[in-house]
Amino acid sequence: MKTFSELNFPGRLIAVEGLDGSGKSTQIYLVKRWLESEGIKVYFSEWNSSELVKSATSKGKKRELLTPTTFSLIHATDFADRYERHLLPLLRAGYVVLCDRYAFTAFARDVVRGCKPEWVRGIYSFAALPDITFFFKTELEVSLNRILEGRPKLKFFEAGMDLRLSADPYESFRIFQGRILEQYVMMSGEFNFVVIDANQNVEKQQTLVRKLVSEKIDLKKFRRRSPLPLPPALQQMEKKDHEEDLAAA
């Protein structure tokens, strides 16, 4: 597997990986805002967001109908759809593409759920590697506490309750996410993850991430040639102000 840079794509892809509650989504969002403020052509994509299968995934989860194999296949379908219709076109157009989770999420989760590693990797073999993959490594208790700060209880699948690891969702979370963490650690060297200590505060992590992105990617090559167009609402406001100025004149 080669990176998009090695395949001579004009754009670059940055992915973030980590346990639920690791803070990776916060970090990639802050990177997006930073790049936008720098005038960089940037696109964001997140796991399980394809309109093609999103509703089916949601229904399957609510009714607890997904086996490990169907879980794996439906997420692979989601990824393939976004990869072909969004990621590749924008990488060919010279964008910096940001992904909140990449194929490595499947490599970790699906294997922990019982799928064979070679089978999981085989269904994602069409995908090139990110140019940078940040792995936000955090302690299980830190991840759990961050999740519970935002909502009263754990979700069924994020706690691995479908695997019947424990009747206690919190203990199930620790076992399930602990096993996923082991998979990530094993993949770190193989896929050249940039490991970030996600136990640190948000600002310290973001400072390091921005520094590493700037060192690894020549961002000036991805700056927009013209300013971003105003959102429709602001366009209407400007038009209204202009018309009022003309009327007053």
Q: Is the pLDDT assigned to residue 165 strictly greater than 80?
A: yes
Please tell me the predicted confidence (pLDDT) of residue 249.
Answer: 45
Amino acid at the residue 219: L
Q: The tokens of 197 are what?
A: 């200590």
Q: Report the distance separating Cα 167 and Cα 149, nearest Å.
A: 22
Per-residue confidence at 187, pLDDT binned at 50, 70, 90?
very high
Instruction: Provide mean pLDDT across the span 120-131.
Output: 97
47-51, 55-59, 151-155, 168-172: range with highest mean pLDDT: 168-172
Give the CATH fold of the 12-248 domain. Rossmann fold (3.40.50)
Please tell me the predicted confidence (pLDDT) of residue 227.
Answer: 53
Q: Is the pLDDT assigned to residue 78 strictly greater than 80?
A: yes
Per-residue confidence at 232, pLDDT binned at 50, 70, 90?
low
Strands lying side by side in the sheet with 194-197? 42-46, 96-100, 12-18, 132-137, 194-197
- The pTM of this model reads 0.85
Please tell me the predicted confidence (pLDDT) of residue 196.
Answer: 98
Q: Report the distance separating Cα 92 and Cα 10, nearest Å.
A: 6
Q: Is the pLDDT assigned to residue 231 strictly greater than 70?
A: no
Per-residue confidence at 177, pLDDT binned at 50, 70, 90?
very high
Please tell me the predicted confidence (pLDDT) of residue 51.
Answer: 78
Task: Considering only residues 63 and 178, tell me which one the structure prediction assigns the higher pLDDT.
Answer: 178
Q: Is the pLDDT assigned to residue 229 strictly greater than 60?
A: no
Residue spans of the domains in the chain: they are 12-248
- Do the Cβ atoms of 104 and 181 come closer than 8 Å? no
| % of residues, the chain, pLDDT over 90 | 73
